[in-house]
Amino acid sequence: MSVAETASGEGTLARMTEVGGLLKADGARSIVMGCAGMARHRQPLEAALGIPVIDPTQAAVAMAIGAVAVA
């Protein structure tokens, strides 16, 4: 999917669920999304697939907050 297609939201979650299901069937134990525009689909995708789904932007922010909290 292109960035424009993921941003529109039309069919994005359905397509991500379809591809995620194929990856899970192939042995994936987690999914790392590749575009910040997909962030809103992380939780529903994780619920649909039953495996962890990681949004790199959310993960980076969480790591930054953790680094500041420890400092």
Q: What is the pLDDT of residues 1-37, one digit of tens each?
A: 777 777 777 788 999 999 999 999 999 999 999 888 8
The more confidently predicted of residues 71 and 25 is 25
Tally of domains within the chain: 1
Q: Give the pLDDT of residue 1.
A: 78
Alpha-carbon distances of 3 from 9, 18, 41, 66, rounded to whole Å: 10, 18, 14, 29
Q: What is the pLDDT of residues 43-65, one digit of tens each?
A: 999 999 999 999 999 999 999 99
Question: What is the Rg, in whole angstroms, of the alpha carbon atoms belonging to the chain?
Answer: 13
pTM above 0.95, yes or no: no
Domain range for 49: 3-70
- Tokens found for residue 56: 């790199």
